């Protein structure tokens, strides 16, 4: 059902009075933001009732997407867009004397994630709603999302991200759906009338209280839900009656319970094995499974058909404990025997792997699990024992292979091996990454059961990442397709290539120029810095990690700077280099790289030799809402990871869709991108994944590059010497030249790839001088980016993994 702006404005005025006791004339922007959110929430709630009734009637299989991260970002404009009321909302706000843009800007990002994996989960949930798949996302309602980054004296400082003040407007608390999660205690196993009885006692209880966020589909009333579990202590609030000893304990218990939902772990691609993290994991999977089981039993009265009615997706290994938790319920609470419980469980769960970095593979010390989750431990031990006996038979006692595949080994529980053992489908997130899983990381399991291993190349929500953030391009796309149909059929985007090519390319150039101006205007207001909009906007935004090689980019800028200083007539295409990246607070090398980029930026920007030619900007606090402003303005997209390390990348897709050209390695989804547009429409460079692997085998010696290449020597020497601020970056240089104990220097092959990167950069610069050619390349990239729509990816999950239907129109 549509709404006119009049109807919306009436709903808003009423809501404002009833909820906030205010008239329009008294309302602040914050009041009005919340009012809008509540009005849209009401519309979605109505739709949700319909969706629930439909699901209830269909008895269709339900999808449950378990993820410790959902990087949702802002929702007001997005929900209005999907509900088809965005123009009406803007008009209604205008008529009430408010600016829609100001209210959108007021909304805090829901930063419940670190980076790629979390943003992917948010895009996919939107897509399930649009594709009318009955799906629910589950995570934790972190009080503090990903930290806010400040740059002070060139260095990262972390500040808490208190998003719930206004962000809570989207959440509906459901106390009636509260679940109890048990930690600690002890377990007794006894036999009564020949039946095994397991008793868990002496545990502490934490209450899991759902706070639900509705997720509206586009052009459908279908509405899904993101269920965020909040942690509460069951201890009564009135503590004054407790004796003093109990009082302290009661307070302690409350604090420990509520710590679970306090903060998102800011580590990305690195695990530390902290107790609180394990508590978070079990807390959210236990609450989730209990709630699914409770509803299932109410509807069907049995769990026999559980696997037919539910598909549980494990988003990386973080929710792996869902496997033993479902086993626990089937065995202990429902009385199934092991084999039946195992059958049901393994036919329910699937696993997506998002990283092959060794330091990101989760392994938990078994003692931690024994103490915190004694019953879960027994189940894990039994799964592991059975699996190991199978492995020993299969590998004829080859203990090397047995140990590689084992679930519990050397006092540690390996979550990825458990997923591989129990899941009915295992997938990587790009063709290359899935091949690496099959040929390397999970090779033995792949050989045993090749059908279990699939690839689903990632995708992004093109409604948000194109239509919503880049209205100029959206308009052009609508003209090309003849309608807005591409919003539901991203494959129609190829029609952009069928339009008069010269005129279309020219339009693209104009759209990009306008977007660059809009970004610089915003940045001038925000940071007081003027960007040179005549220069190429060359952008690298993503988490800071050595494998992503922000340092390679910085080294190339140092090279350009040195050339400019040597020879003021050195000709090259003027550039604005933009960086945005958060470093995990404990990741010292990543923090030094941020510092280096800022030192370099200050030196370059202050040097008259660089005026109008070279500018370097570190954008503070990179986040979803900043990406939304930046992507439409970007011209060159830096996707320069060491080949074989970036599982897919999704930022690469956002840039492509907004008409930036890619400079990149053949890594992750860059490979599929290259298949789409051809090598002539991107700037490829560097070693391939196979070449990297071969170099590791042969023994890579980075100092040979250093010795033979004067350019590299000068760059590294400058990093040692430092820049205007006199800070020396010897740790960074040392990591490039000197092998740590038992390791290899420059493990991400920066020196090996430098010359090839420099050549690709030079070619990009040359090409930019011919705007016709550049815009034509951008056109091809945009037109062929439909493959990277989340709808395509989610449809593949639906068909090949979840076995559920999708919308047909
Ligand atoms: C336990 C600590 C931890 C936290 C997060 C380990 C690993 C992660 C994530 C798996 C890291 C991540 O976000 N991976 C990214 O996932 C994206 C979505 O599939 C991919 O596009 C990126 O290439 C991958 O780095």
| Residues 465/631, Cβ–Cβ less than 8 Å | yes
How many whole angstroms separate alpha carbon 561 and alpha carbon 557? Answer: 6
Q: Which of 15, 222, 363, 542 is catalytic?
A: 542
Least confident of 168-182, 236-250, 501-515, 726-740: 236-250
Strands (E), 84-178: 110-112, 135-140, 148-152, 155-159, 171-173
Ligand 1: lining residues by beta carbon, under 6 Å:
114-117, 120, 267-271, 316, 354-355, 360, 362, 429, 458, 646-650, 668
More confident residue, 568 or 338: 338
CB 11 within 8 A of CB 39: yes
Burial code of 269-308, b = ≥16 C-beta within 10 A, e = fewer? bebeeeeebbbbbbbbbbbbbbbbbeebeeeeeebeebbe
Are 570 and 557 a contacting pair, CB within 8 Å? no
Q: Looking at residues 191-199, what average pLDDT do you find? A: 90
Distances (CA, A) of 84 to 80, 623, 808: 6, 26, 20
Residue with the smallest CA separation from ligand 1 atom 22 is 649
Return the higher-pLDDT residue of 2 and 294: 294
pTM of the model: 0.98
Find the 433 Cα to ligand 1 centroid distance in Å: 12
Residue 249: predicted pLDDT? 74
CB atoms within 10 A of CB 497: 15
Residues in Cβ contact with 564 at an 8 Å cutoff, skipping those fewer than 6 apart: 570, 609, 610, 613, 614
Spacing, Cα 188 to ligand 1 middle (Å) = 39
CA distances from 187 to 200, 276, 278, 337, 492 (A): 4, 22, 19, 18, 58
Does residue 248 surpass a pLDDT of 90? no
The count of residues in the chain is: 809
Structure tokens at 83: 């509900």
% of the chain at pLDDT higher than 90: 95
CA distances from 546 to 638, 644, 645, 723 (A): 14, 13, 10, 21
Q: How far is the CA of 116 from the centre of ligand 1 (A)?
A: 6
Helices H / strands E in the chain, number of each = 33, 25
DSSP character at residue 545? -
* Strand-strand pairing, 661-664 and 683-684: parallel
Place of tokens 């033995």: 444
Nearest atom within ligand 1 for CA of residue 647: 23
DSSP 410-466: TTEEEHHHHHHHH-SEEEESSHHHHHHIIIIITHHHHHH-GGGEEE----B-HIIII
Nearest to 628 by CA among 147, 73, 218: 73
- Annotated active-site residue 542? The verdict is yes
Whether 353 and 416 have beta carbons less than 8 Å apart is answered as yes
Give the distance from CA 371 to its chain's centroid.
31
The DSSP element (H or E) to which 605 belongs, if any, is helix 588-606
Catalytic residue among 548, 623, 645, 784: 548
The confidence score (pLDDT) of residue 246 equals 74
- Cα torsion through 802, 805, 806, 808, rounded to 10: 160
27 Cα to the center of ligand 1, angstroms: 42
Q: Whose CA is nearest to atom 9 of ligand 1?
A: 269
Q: Of the listed 128, 136, 650, 795, which one is catalytic? A: 650
What's the gap in Å between 249 CA and the centre of ligand 1?
A: 38
Atom of ligand 1 nearest to the CA of 668: 23
Report the nearest-CA residue for atom 21 of ligand 1.
649
Q: Which of 307, 354, 375, 516 is catalytic?
A: 354
Residues forming beta bridges with residue 181, ordered by sequence position: 206
Rounded distance from Cα 266 to ligand 1 centre (Å)? 12
Cα 316 to averaged position of ligand 1 atoms, centre (Å) = 8
Q: Whose CA is nearest to atom 10 of ligand 1?
A: 354
DSSP letters of 151-218?
A: EETTEEEEE---THHHHGGGEEE-GGG-EEEEES-EEEEEEETTEEEEEEES-EEEEEEEEEEEEEPT
Strands 148-152 and 536-541, sheet pairing: unpaired
H or E stretch covering 575: strand 575-580
CB atoms within 10 A of CB 413: 25
Q: Interhelix angle for 771-783 vs 501-527, to 10°?
A: 90
118 CA → ligand 1 middle, Å? 8
**Which position has the token pair 């649009």?**
130
- Cβ–Cβ < 8 Å for 160, 25: no
* Distance in angstroms (rounded) separating the CA atoms of residues 461 and 466: 8
Dihedral sign for Cα atoms in the order 689, 694, 697, 698: negative
CB 442 within 8 A of CB 419: no
Tell which one of 123, 125, 142, 268 to mutate to probe ligand 1, the residue whose CB is within 8 A of the most ligand atoms: 268
Q: Looking at the predicted structure, is the pLDDT value of residue 68 above 90?
A: yes
654 counts as catalytic: yes
State the pLDDT confidence band at 261, using cuts at 50, 70 and 90.
Answer: very high
First CA to last CA distance, the chain: 18
CA distance 747 to 525: 40
**Percentage of the chain lying above the pLDDT 70 cut:** 99
Best mutation site among 65, 67, 112, 115 for ligand 1, i.e. most ligand atoms within 8 A of its Cβ?
115
**Protein residue with its CA nearest to atom 1 in ligand 1:** 271
Q: For residue range 751-794, what is the model confidence (pLDDT) as tens digits? A: 999 999 999 999 999 999 999 999 999 999 999 999 999 999 99
Q: Ligand 1, residues 321, 354, 541: which to mutate, most atoms within 8 A of Cβ?
A: 354
Distance CA 683, CA 756 (A): 10
Q: What's the rounded mean pLDDT across residues 444-452? A: 97
Report the nearest-CA residue for atom 11 of ligand 1.
Answer: 269
pLDDT value, residue 344: 98
Express each pLDDT in 98-129 by its tens digit. 999 999 999 999 999 999 999 999 999 999 99
Average pLDDT, the chain: 97
* Atom 8, ligand 1: residue with shortest CA distance: 269
Is the separation of the CB atoms in 437 and 425 below 8 Å?
A: no
pLDDT of residue 610: 97
Q: Which helix (H) or strand (E) holds 658?
A: none
Distance 667 CA to ligand 1 centre (A): 15
Cβ-proximal residues to 712 (8 Å cutoff; 6+ apart), any chain? 555, 705, 706, 751, 754
Which candidate in 41, 279, 474, 543 is catalytic?
543
E strands of 316-381, at which residues? 349-352, 363-365
CB 638 within 8 A of CB 575: no
Strands 135-140, 62-66: parallel, antiparallel or unpaired by DSSP? parallel
Q: Which of the listed residues 125, 264, 269 should we mutate to test ligand 1's pocket, taking the one with most ligand atoms within 8 A of CB?
A: 269
Options 645, 654, 758, 784, the catalytic residue: 654
Q: Is 548 a catalytic residue?
A: yes
What is the model's pLDDT at position 235?
A: 81
238 has pLDDT over 60: no
Give residue 163 CA to ligand 1 midpoint distance, Å: 23
pLDDT of residue 242: 65
240 — pLDDT class (breaks 50, 70, 90): low
Q: Give the residue from 116, 71, 66, 129 showing the smallest Cα distance to 798.
A: 129
Residue nearest to ligand 1 atom 5, measured at CA: 268
What are 9's two structure tokens? Answer: 């404005």
Residue nearest atom 4 in ligand 1 by C-alpha distance: 268
pLDDT surpassing 80 at residue 203: yes
Q: How far is the CA of 333 from the centre of ligand 1 (A)?
A: 35
Atom of ligand 1 nearest to the CA of 433: 23
Which helix (H) or strand (E) segment is 232 a member of?
strand 223-232
Position 270 scores a pLDDT of 87
Tally Cβ neighbours within 10 Å of residue 809. 7
Q: Tell me the helix, strand and coil percentages in the chain, rounded to 5.
A: 55, 15, 30
């Amino acid at each position: 059902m549509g709404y006119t702006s009049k109807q919306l404005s009436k709903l808003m005025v009423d809501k404002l009075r009833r909820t906030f006791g205010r008239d329009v004339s008294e309302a602040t922007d914050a009041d009005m933001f919340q009012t809008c959110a509540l009005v849209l929430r009401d519309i979605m709630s109505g739709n949700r009732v319909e969706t629930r009734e439909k699901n209830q009637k269909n008895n269709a299989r339900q999808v449950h997407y378990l993820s410790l991260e959902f990087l949702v970002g802002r929702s007001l404009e997005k929900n209005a867009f999907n509900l088809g009321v965005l123009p009406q909302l803007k008009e209604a706000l205008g008529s009430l004397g408010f600016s829609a843009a100001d209210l959108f800007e007021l909304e805090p990002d829901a930063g419940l994630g670190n980076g790629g994996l979390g943003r992917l989960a948010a895009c996919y949930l939107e897509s399930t709603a649009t594709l009318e798949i009955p799906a629910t996302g589950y995570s934790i309602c972190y009080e503090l999302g990903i930290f806010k980054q400040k740059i002070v004296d060139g260095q990262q400082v972390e500040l808490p991200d208190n998003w719930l003040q206004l962000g809570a407007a989207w959440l509906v608390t459901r106390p009636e759906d509260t679940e109890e999660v048990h930690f600690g205690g002890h377990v007794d196993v006894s036999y009564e009338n020949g039946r095994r009885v397991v008793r868990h006692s002496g545990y502490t209880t934490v209450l899991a209280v759902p706070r639900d966020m509705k997720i509206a589909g586009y052009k459908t009333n279908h509405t899904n839900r993101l269920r965020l579990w909040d942690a509460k202590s069951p201890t009564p609030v009135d503590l004054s009656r407790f004796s003093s000893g109990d009082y302290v304990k009661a307070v302690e218990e409350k604090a420990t319970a509520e710590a679970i939902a306090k903060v998102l772990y800011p580590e990305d691609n690195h695990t530390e094995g902290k107790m609180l993290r394990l508590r978070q994991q079990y807390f959210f999977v236990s609450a989730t499974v209990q709630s699914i089981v409770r509803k299932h039993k109410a509807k069907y009265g049995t769990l026999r058909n559980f696997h037919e009615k539910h598909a549980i997706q494990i988003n990386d290994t973080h929710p792996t404990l869902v496997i033993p938790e479902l086993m626990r319920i089937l065995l202990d609470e429902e009385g199934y025997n092991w084999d039946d419980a195992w059958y049901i469980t393994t036919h329910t769960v699937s696993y997506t792997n998002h990283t092959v970095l060794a330091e990101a593979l989760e392994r938990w010390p078994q003692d931690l699990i024994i103490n915190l989750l004694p019953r879960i431990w027994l189940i894990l031990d039994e799964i592991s024992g059975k699996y190991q006996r199978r492995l020993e038979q299969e590998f004829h006692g080859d203990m090397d292979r047995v140990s590689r595949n084992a679930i519990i080994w050397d006092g540690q529980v390996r979550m990825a091996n458990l997923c591989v053992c129990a899941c009915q489908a295992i997938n990587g997130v790009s063709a290359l990454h899935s091949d690496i899983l099959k040929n390397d990381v999970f090779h033995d399991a792949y050989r045993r059961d090749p059908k279990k291993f699939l690839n689903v190349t990632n995708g992004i929500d093109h409604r948000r990442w194109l239509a919503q953030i880049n209205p100029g391009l959206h308009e052009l796309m609508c003209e090309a397709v003849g309608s807005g149909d591409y919003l539901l059929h991203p494959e129609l985007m190829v029609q952009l290539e069928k339009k008069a090519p010269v005129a279309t390319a020219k339009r693209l150039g104009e759209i990009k120029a306008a977007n660059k101006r809009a970004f610089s205007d915003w940045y001038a207001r925000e940071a007081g810095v003027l960007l040179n909009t005549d220069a190429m906007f060359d952008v690298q935004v993503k988490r800071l990690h050595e494998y992503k090689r922000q340092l390679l980019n910085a080294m190339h800028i140092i090279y350009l700077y040195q050339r400019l200083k040597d020879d003021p007539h050195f000709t090259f295409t003027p550039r604005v280099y933009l960086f945005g990246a958060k470093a995990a607070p404990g990741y010292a090398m990543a923090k030094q790289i941020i510092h280096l980029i800022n030192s370099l930026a200050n030196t370059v920007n202050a040097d008259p030799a660089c005026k109008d030619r070279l500018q370097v900007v570190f954008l503070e606090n990179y986040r979803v809402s900043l990406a939304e402003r930046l992507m439409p303005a970007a011209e060159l997209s830096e996707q320069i990871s060491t080949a074989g390390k970036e599982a897919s990348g999704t930022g690469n897709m956002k840039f492509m869709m907004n008409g930036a050209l890619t400079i990149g390695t053949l890594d992750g989804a860059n490979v599929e991108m290259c298949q789409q547009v051809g090598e002539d429409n991107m700037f490829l460079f560097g070693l391939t994944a196979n070449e990297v692997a071969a170099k590791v085998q042969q023994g890579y010696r980075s100092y040979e590059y250093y010795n033979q290449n004067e350019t590299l020597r000068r760059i590294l020497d400058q990093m040692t010497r430092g820049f205007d601020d006199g800070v020396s970056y010897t740790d960074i240089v040392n990591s490039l030249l000197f092998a740590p104990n038992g390791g290899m220097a420059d493990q991400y092959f920066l020196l090996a790839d430098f010359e090839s990167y420099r050549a690709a950069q030079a070619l990009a610069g040359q090409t930019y001088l011919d705007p016709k050619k550049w815009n034509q390349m951008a056109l091809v990239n945009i037109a062929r980016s439909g493959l990277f729509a989340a709808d395509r990816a989610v449809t593949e999950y639906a068909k090949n993994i979840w076995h559920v239907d999708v919308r047909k129109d």
